[in-house]
Amino acid sequence: MTTEREGVPIVADDNLHQAEAARQAADRLALALEEVGFDVGMAFPGLRSGWDGSAAPGVLLGAVTCEVAADLAAILGNAAEAGVTLPPR
């Protein structure tokens, strides 16, 4: 259940663990991007945990330049060629 106060979503206690998971995911993503060579503050200035339009917690990636998108696509393509895939969920 959510309500709003001054336009800011207030999330019920049952969603707090999701908000914390989103924060941790954003931190892990930032570290992974740095490990492959990105300057996260410059390349992904909008990367943060936050709330979507329905007040659900998540990771906001923000807009990136064409160069950053091409670099990220190249890294992911190389990982896929090396057999790196997502673990089953």
What residue segments make up the domains of the chain, in order of their start?
Answer: 2-81
Q: What pLDDT is attached to residue 89? A: 87
Q: What pLDDT is attached to residue 11? A: 52
Q: What pLDDT is attached to residue 49? A: 94
The single-letter code of the amino acid at 88 is: P
Residues in CB range of 65: below 8 A, 6 or more apart? 43
User: Contact 71/38 with Cβ under 8 angstroms?
Assistant: yes
Q: What is the pTM of this model?
A: 0.78
For the chain, which residues score pLDDT lower than 70? 1-14
Q: What pLDDT is attached to residue 61? A: 93
Q: What is the pLDDT of residues 75-89, one digit of tens each?
A: 999 999 999 999 998
Q: What pLDDT is attached to residue 1? A: 46
